[in-house]
Amino acid sequence: MVGTQWKDTHYTLGFQGEYKMDRLHHNGFRKLRLFGPLVREELLPGINVVWVFTPEDIEQVFRAEGRYPERRSHLALAKCRRDRPHVYNTGGLLPTNGPEWLRLRSAFQRDLSRPNCVKTYLPAIDKVIQEFLNKITPGHNGNDFLPELSKLFLELICLVAFDVRLDSFNQKSELSSRLIDAALSINSSILRTDNGLQLWKWFDTPLYRKLKRSHLVLEQVAVELVTKKIEIMKLQNLNKTSHQPSLLELYLSSQHLDQKDVIGMSVDMILAGIDTTTNTSSFTLYHLATNLNIQEKLYEECLKLLPNCKSPITAEVLSKAQYTKAVLKESFRLNPISVGVGRILSQDAILSGYKVPHGTVVVTQNQVTCRLPEYFSEPDKFIPERWIKGHQMYKSTSPYLVLPFGHGPRTCIARRLAEQNMQALLLKRGTLSERERVSEKETDRDKEIIPHTQGCIDVAETNEIDGEVEEEGEAELISGHSKAHFRPLDQATMYPLHLALIVPEGCAGTRYTEAREQELLGIVLWGHELRTIHFHLIIRRFQVGWAGADIDAISLLINKPDKKEEKKDEMELEECQSQFYDNLAVMVDTGVVFSKE
């Protein structure tokens, strides 16, 4: 088992090293390549962690976790709560270990982990998702869809957990914005406070103060919701009214929990309910946007199960949505919620022939393992069919490979609810997107085209060139068709790119639904929407890294202002054009656009 030296790797002490804290999966690939499938790393003197890459070793880690699975995470969050004993009994379900963790877990999972209990919330969830889609679809042209998804999942968790609506889809909803910002701030602080010298244990560092401020925002809302619910429950008992109880009511009625326990769990539900499902859903929508054939198959299943966009999603519908589940699982494989699962061994374990003593911190590298060709054919491709039994792409795999929610007694307590919410969103969005494409073709309605600003546009090469050459500056241009797709910013640097200025005909995209034209045009992610568009491309080749800030210039460059726009918009366009050309490091004399049939 090879060890690495902390002084050569991490930058937790404030200096730059080879590994990046915000690129953990890249770090994992590098360790696997350099040292093999089992790596011991000394993060700080005397503090070791073992990284595990094979499914066989991952299985042994879970078999050695014992009655009380322990992990080393959310340490600063635990301290923040222990310092407020008038509000909390413990550090909460996330950081707590041992018998106290088992007490909390047993009480909270009774209702949250039962399939029949989770399914009872489907009608309310369906209604919220429909409202969300009605709000964001017509004329929505935002550059970043993540905040919109965050609002949706915040609204869903508050509805199911607390039986309240926050009016998150209202742009003026200050409470929703504060909760989302606070949750994101806490989650972004967890990894950095869990590693390094952890000076926050002795005095309030700037990062720890930030975590405390954000946590207080969630705490105040949780305390208010719990207090109000207690008053409502007293009135309901007096009036002897019957209704479907929220999770909060079930917890407050439990003999194994008190009010402080429930407040801690309420904060945890808000904290975990926003970030994880938001990121997973956004990756899934991205994969659908860049794989038109898969999007069409999903639409076919949506149309079969939900004849129209107003058809309700029921438990029976979800049970039959096999392709939807395969799409979600494939997204989990490529872009899981975390790189893997952390455990503190409660007993000795044999990993890859080495004896690893109890008390060792072990982290599984599932995200890396799931992209290795020895476990998945074409591992970097998005192929949902690999999870559908009976399909030629299906292959039995180890159950310890794709573990987005963890495994065993300490698996994510809200897994069933999270999967149900995401499946319902995909089904509803699938029916709505196709209905919009057909409707837009029939009405010939113009749409404003605004590309996403955090990435690059990658254009597929083709040898078919047909058309007349036009002159524009020093570049040769041929108008026509090609395929384009959007890639995340972290994949858009450090290697040659094919970048494109997309100039829609008439400065507005017209969607096409015929399969023949879809194959020609491909799919493009514009803002948050999945669109098939008819466009002209101007392709230039650059051997440079490309940043999101430069895409802003392209965005304005291709969206020429209407003649009725104010003069300042034209000046802004000229400024962006100038900035765009100034930023080019290397430029080939000619650019080519593939011809229109």
Q: What is the 3-state secondary structure (H, E, C) of 565-589?
A: CCHHHHHHHHHHHHHHHHCCCCCCC
Structure token pair of residue 562: 């209407």
Would you put residue 260 in left (φ > 0), alpha (ψ -120 to 50) or beta? alpha
Residue 300 and residue 1: Cα distance in Å, rounded? 49
Residue 95 and residue 410: Cα distance in Å, rounded? 11
Of residues 254 and 19, more confidence is placed in 254
Torsion 294-296-299-300 (CA) sign: negative
DSSP H helices, 407-561, are 415-443, 515-521, 548-558
Residue 106 has pLDDT above 80, yes or no: yes
How far is Cα of residue 205 from the mean position of the Cα atoms in its chain?
Answer: 29
Residue 353 and residue 170: Cα distance in Å, rounded? 57
Provide the residue count of the chain. Answer: 597
Q: How many CB atoms lie within 10 A of CB 11?
A: 13
For the chain, how far is it from start to end, CA to CA, in angstroms?
Answer: 59
Structure token pair of residue 383: 């192929």
Structure confidence by residue, pLDDT tens digits, 163-201: 999 988 887 778 999 999 999 999 989 988 988 889 999
DSSP H helices, 366-504, are 366-369, 415-443
* Main-chain dihedrals φ then ψ at residue 240, nearest 5 degrees: 55, 45
Structure confidence by residue, pLDDT tens digits, 280-337: 999 999 999 999 999 999 999 999 999 877 789 999 999 999 999 999 999 999 999 8
Ranges of each domain in the chain: 2-429, 446-582
Structure confidence by residue, pLDDT tens digits, 500-531: 333 333 333 322 222 222 222 222 333 333 33
**Which has the minimum average pLDDT: 96-105, 134-143, 394-403, 475-484?**
475-484
Residue 161 and residue 247: Cα distance in Å, rounded? 5
Is 412 annotated to bind a ligand? Reply is yes
Q: Which amino acid is at 445?
A: R
How far from 90 is each of 103, 221, 413, CA to CA, in Å?
11, 19, 17
* Main-chain dihedrals φ then ψ at residue 231, nearest 5 degrees: -65, -40
Residue 240 binned pLDDT confidence (cut-offs 50, 70, 90): low
Structure confidence by residue, pLDDT tens digits, 571-590: 544 444 444 333 322 222 22
Q: How many CB atoms lie within 10 A of CB 130?
A: 17
Q: Which amino acid is at 243?
A: H
Closest CA to 374 of 353, 401, 350: 401
Residue 49 and residue 342: Cα distance in Å, rounded? 10
Q: Which amino acid is at 279?
A: N
pLDDT, averaged across the chain: 73
Residue 504 and residue 510: Cα distance in Å, rounded? 8
Instruction: Please say whether the structural domain 2-429 has been given the CATH code 1.10.260.40.
Output: no
Torsion 179-180-185-191 (CA) sign: positive
Q: What percent of the chain has pLDDT over 70?
A: 66
* Strand boundaries in 433-574, DSSP class E: 455-459, 470-472, 475-477, 484-488, 497-504, 524-526, 529-531, 535-542
